[in-house]
A and B are shown apart, each in its own frame.
Chain A
Amino acid sequence: NVIFYLFFLLLCIRDVVGSDFCLIAGPMRRCGHGHCWLLGTLAFFYLVLLSGVEADAKSDHHSENGHHQNASSISGIPIVTFKWHHVETPYTVALWIIVAGLCKLVIEANHHVTNVIPESALLICSGFILGGMVWGADKKQTFKLNPTVFFYYLLPQIILDAGYSMPNKLFFTNLGGILLHAVIGTCWNAATVGLSLWGCHMGGAMGDLDIGLLQYLLFGSLLSAVDPVAVIAVFEQVHVNEVLFIMVFGESLLNDGVTVVLFNVFDSFVSLGGPAINAAEIVKGIISFFVVAFGGSLVGLVFGLLLSLLTRCTKNIQIIEPGFVFVVGYLSYLTAEMLSLSAILSITFCGVCCQKYMNANMDEKSVTTVRYAMKVLANGSETMIFVFLGITAIDKTIWVWNTGFILLTLLFVLVYRVIGVFFLTWIQNKFRLVPLDLMDRIIMSYGGLRGAVAYGLAALLDENKIKEKPLMIGTTLIIVYFTVVLQGITMKPLVTWLKVKRATNNELTLIEKVQNKVFNHMLVAIEDISGQKGNNYMRDKWTHFEEKWMSWFLMKPSARKKHDHLFNIFHMINLKDALEYVDKGESNGTLEFIRNDTAFIDFKKNYEDDFSDVSMPDLTIDMGDDTIANPYARRDAVPSISLEMHKQTNYGLRESENINTHHLLQQHLYKSRNQHRFRYSRSHFDLNQDENEVQEIFQRTMRNRLESFKSAKLGVAPPKPITKHPRKDTQKKMPNGKSTEKRSYYSGDEDFEFSEGDSASGYFPRVTHRPGTGIENPSFMPDLDPRAPVQIPPWLAEGELDSTAGVAPSQRAQAGLPRTPSNLNRLAPLRISTRSTDFPTSSSSQQSNELPPPPSPPPYHPHKI
């Protein structure tokens, strides 16, 4: 019957979604490099719920197993057998994962709802519904969030993700405050909630309950866990300013570790029993608290460094290097758990301290993979957790209602959180340069969302020692629902209403970045001059130490160089610049253009970096009349007019051009006819970057351009026989990821310069020309002879082409070139990249002063036409 209602569920959801499972593949595809991890993820989740469902499935197992064995003693070989029990557990797990994923899908389908109600709350609600369905089918609660599953399989990746994507600088600058809240605040919450409840109990506010002071403290400690899962889920959607965010987020992350420690201490006190506790035990408890917390962090640190070291030498096994992050992170979690240290703190610090070195050491692709996989795992677990938190609620056994207890707990949890936060920020503000204002404090106290950690700890309670366990679980769940759903919903309006400083999400301008660097050094200098050893001094010393020793030890030499902050700035400038070229085509990154009013530049740039050559046919058509009217005259015509026109058409066409580009890309680029190799390799991951393919793409593009040109110009139907490739427009380039050999391609159209840039490294090759150096005729029209079918450029006959010989034009084509060396000279400025004068490219990757094409014919490979 298990499978029946699962299918039933799936069908329901499918109907709601109104589509197929392939929907889920849609969003996944975006994951890019991450998609190969999907399988891994699924496999992982199989494991995840394995143990969780095992217990539940067992009861069914027994009854049906007997039946199964009887049935198996049949004579003859069955062709097909139905072996549900072989796959039952993983199957159920997988189904649940899909169900959870589909829940998220449904929820995210409507942004109007998620704008108001946070996703986590909706997931819990859908959990209620699912739980109701399960209950309706089974008449008992079959599935619930099991602490083992939660702590060992669902939580680690979330924490790892949080640690890995932690903004380190922000975190460490505010570490003092975060620790204050995480340690003192947590203890405060645990103690006050426990004591107050106990006081109320003594005062008789809750009737007859079998809970002692220690149990109350234990309960208080588990309730003091501000849950990072819930907090991230809500705060991510709210975008508060970064200091506030890091305070709440960092606190919730570290506070989890602290809570677990506190919980364990009180748990052992409870086991010890009231009378056996003396001063020595209490001191031991306090010591163990610190040992566990700091020991856990230390374990994490060690594993983080190990991981950094490991990634330092994974160059040859790039395909699996992303996996190390997860495995080592998980190992740090388990190791800490094994040593009874704080596992959460361990994995947090593992993530925090490995991120820098790992990202520098690993291949760029691997880093992307790690990022995506991390998100896939963390987001997946988060979804599962919330759904199961909802499902867990549908259980009669945990709902022992005690109005006094529940309401008082809720009240105390909220009130003491507010008091604690206000008190601690008051202390903190005495030491802060920029004090946290009232709004920040309100949001911080309001952001004390309780989540799955509290529930997981409550579920861990031992009912032999704590008689009222169901009541505690029930109360914990109510508090979780209250905080996640109600506070989550009201958080956004509150932030808006209180006008809390939001995060400024506009990117820093370059000058601001430079200025920030100036600030850093300036503060250090002023501290030095004034003879103080303040924060800046310490930070500066640390940076020096870090750069000198840690980086040397943990980073590959090549990465060290690349990791340089300024190198990144430079990288960023280049990238941004290239993007801007495509975008606007007017900012050059140098000041040259400001001084010169050469419209050509704009025009040139529009196309220079518009390396989607495929957009050309459209333009060709547009300019067709103009250019074709007098191809020969054009050569000598003043080009600016047509250039102006180009510019306009370019803007005007952008829309349709894009559409066309996509269409063409789809049609031609990635399905090159018969050269597409379906290669399978476990150790390589090629993304269609093969040279041959690029060649093919290029040829096809060329041909396409010619065809459309022809059709526009001569009224000839596009198909063959194509005569000459006449178009000339601008210089073209296609960064194709291979920078090793530069293969320039000159034919009748010199402008089809095929400079192979190193796009992999992010530098877009750029061919600019020096303004004012006499660009004469960028729109050069070679002669065109429709009756010269022999002059088919080789790439048009792409069918027979040997791919290695592909680009070289034939001798005949060479001979027929309309351009002689003298022509070349005339046009030379066009081709000269003057980037080096004003906007030099980086060290090695690209010397962009491409010389004018050599007058001698390019490498020629004889081949048949």
Chain B
Amino acid sequence: VTVTMGAAQTRSEHSYQDLSDKTGFSLEQITNLHKRFKQLSGDSETIRNLNSIPDLTDNPIKNQIINAFFDKRNQRNGEVGTYREIGFEEFLMVMSHFRPTSRKTSEEEKKAIRKEKLRFLFNMHDSDSDGTITLEEYRKVVEELLSKSGNIDLEVAKAIADAAMLEVASTNMPDMAPDYFYEGITFEHFEQILSGLEMESRMHIRFLDVDTNTMRCDRK
């Protein structure tokens, strides 16, 4: 028994190193996240759904976030589509979008990371993976965003989405012909319109190096 344990240990350490190179997390972080992954998956190799996390129930964009975990586009391997279940590597890959940059990162790297984060966001909104966020898709985003705040009806959400969309349209194509139909936000436009947004503090969370034992097991 001890032999197999040891083998598993070395194997996981080995693969942790791989994952660390791939995702940029430290080994401690990976260990912690793996623990969490096991919690979520109920000690199996893959996660089929993330719907049961109790803290998430109040989150209005819960579905979008969860879908992002199962979205192949967020794995940086050029594939499109959705997974039915994800392994730890995929889980980590999605998580790595939220890893803070270290202070040594060069400007180009920062730009690339920023682009990646934006891409993640874009993918989240572009639910049919066609490369544009159409008005319908955006409306859905806003609707979901507002869904938990009560007393706001769908009409308002629609209005907000429309106005935002219009804004994108008019920002990106100032001299649009009146009969031009703006089909949706492409990634380039998305990038452009959010260019003023400071991403550093908004799409980062601090992944702890130490294990937090206060976590509850959510699968039970």
Which residues does A use to contact B, with CB under 8 Å? 433-435, 504, 506, 508-512, 514-519, 521-537, 544, 561, 564-567, 569-570, 573, 577, 587-591, 593-599, 836, 838-840, 842-843
Q: Is the CB of B179 within 8 A of A595?
A: yes
Smallest distance from the beta carbon of A606 to chain B beta carbons, Å?
15
Chain B residue with the shortest CB-CB distance to A588: B166
* CB atoms of A564 and B121 under 8 A apart: no
CA distance A590 to B60 in the complex (A): 25
- Note all chain A residues with C-beta closer than 8 A to B93: none
Bound complex: CA A169 to CA B35 (Å)? 33
Assuming the A-B contacts A525-B65, A533-B214, are A515 and B207 also in contact, with contact meaning beta carbons closer than 8 angstroms in the complex? no
| Beta-carbon contact of B177 and A591 below 8 Å | no
A597 with B178: CB separation less than 8 A: yes
The interface-forming segment of B4-12, B13-21, B75-83, B196-204 is B196-204
Most buried by A among B59, B103, B141, B176: B59
Q: Please, how many angstroms separate the alpha-carbon atoms of A838 and B39 in the complex?
A: 46
Neighbouring B residues of A526 by C-beta, 8 Å: 65, 95, 98, 205
A526 to B200, CA, bound (A): 16
B50 within 8 A of A: yes
Which chain B positions have C-beta within 8 A of A512? Answer: 193-194, 196-197
Is B200 in contact with A433, judged by CB distance below 8 angstroms?
A: yes
Q: Would you call A511 and B162 a contact (CB within 8 A)?
A: no
- How far, in whole Å, are A598 and B177 apart by their CA atoms in the complex? 11
A435 touches B156 (CB 8 A): no
From B155, B193, B194, B212, residue with most partner A Cβ within 10 Å: B155
Q: Could you jot down 5 A-B contacts, CB within 8 Å?
A: A526-B65, A567-B152, A599-B178, A839-B159, A839-B163
A521 proximity list for chain B (CB < 8 A): 59-61, 65, 145
B151 lies within 8 A of A587 (CB): no
Contacts of A519 in B (CB 8 A): 202-203
B155 nearest in chain A by CB position: A840
Bound-state CA distance A587–B170 (Å) is 8
Q: Of B164, B169, B206, which contacts A433 at CB under 8 A?
A: B206
Give Cα distance in the complex from A596 to B178, angstroms: 6
B141–A518 CB distance below 8 A: yes
Shortest CB distance B215–A (Å): 4
Contact of B151 among A525, A528, A564, A836 (CB under 8 A): A564
Pick the 6 closest A-B CB pairs, nearest first: A840-B155, A597-B178, A531-B36, A528-B55, A525-B65, A597-B179
Q: How far is the CA of A435 from the CA of B165 in the complex (A)?
A: 34
Residue among A524, A566, A573 with max Cβ neighbours from chain B (10 Å): A566
CB <8 Å contact, A590 and B56? no
Contact present for B56 and A594 (CB under 8 Å)? no
Within 8 A of A (CB), among B171-220: 171, 176-182, 193-194, 196-197, 200-208, 212, 214-215
Interface magnitude class on chain B: 35 or more
Report Cα–Cα, A573/B164, bound state, in Å. 9
B182 touches A511 (CB 8 A): no
Residues of B at under 8 Å CB distance from A? 32-33, 35-36, 39-40, 50, 53, 55-56, 58-62, 65, 69, 95, 98, 100, 103, 121, 124, 135, 141-142, 145-146, 149-153, 155-156, 158-171, 176-182, 193-194, 196-197, 200-208, 212, 214-215
> Which among B167, B178, B193, B208 is the interface contact of A593 at CB below 8 angstroms?
B178
A211–chain B nearest beta-carbon distance, Å: 45
The complex places the Cα of A537 from the Cα of B55 at a distance, in Å, of 9
Chain A contacts for B170, CB-based, 8 A: 587
Determine if B103 and A435 form an interchain contact, defined as CB atoms under 8 angstroms apart: yes
A530, B36: Cβ atoms under 8 Å? yes
Provide the residues of chain B in CB contact with A599, threshold 8 Å: 178
Q: How far is the CB of A242 from chain B (nearest CB, A)?
A: 10
Give the contacting residue for B207; candidates A509, A532, A564; CB below 8 A: A532
Q: Are B182 and A570 in contact (CB under 8 A)?
A: no
Say which residue of B55, B135, B200 sits within 8 Å of A434 (CB atoms). B200
CB distance A504 to B196 under 8 Å?
yes
Partner of A511, one of B50, B61, B193: B193
Contact: B182 with A594, CB < 8 Å? yes
Are the C-beta atoms of B156 and A842 separated by less than 8 Å?
yes
Contact present for A522 and B61 (CB under 8 Å) = yes
A531's partner among B62, B100, B178, B212 (CB-CB below 8 A) is B212
B62 near A510 with CB under 8 A, answer no
Chain B residue with Cβ nearest A570? B156
Are the CB atoms of B178 and A533 closer together than 8 Å?
Answer: no
User: What is the CA–CA distance of A588 and B35 in the complex, to the nearest angstrom?
Assistant: 52
Given contacts A529-B65, A534-B205, contact A838 B177 (CB under 8 A): no
**Are A523 and B203 closer than 8 Å at their CB atoms?**
yes
Which residues from A are CB-within-8-Å of B204?
A: 433, 523
**Are B181 and A594 in contact, CB atoms less than 8 angstroms apart?**
yes
Q: Are A566 and B146 neighbours in the complex by a CB distance under 8 Å?
A: yes
Which of the residues B32, B146, B194 comes within 8 Å of A515, measured between beta carbons? Answer: B194
Q: What would 5 more interface pairs be, CB under 8 Å, given A504-B196, A530-B207, A566-B149? A: A510-B164, A518-B124, A524-B55, A589-B163, A597-B178
Cβ-closest chain B residue relative to A589: B163
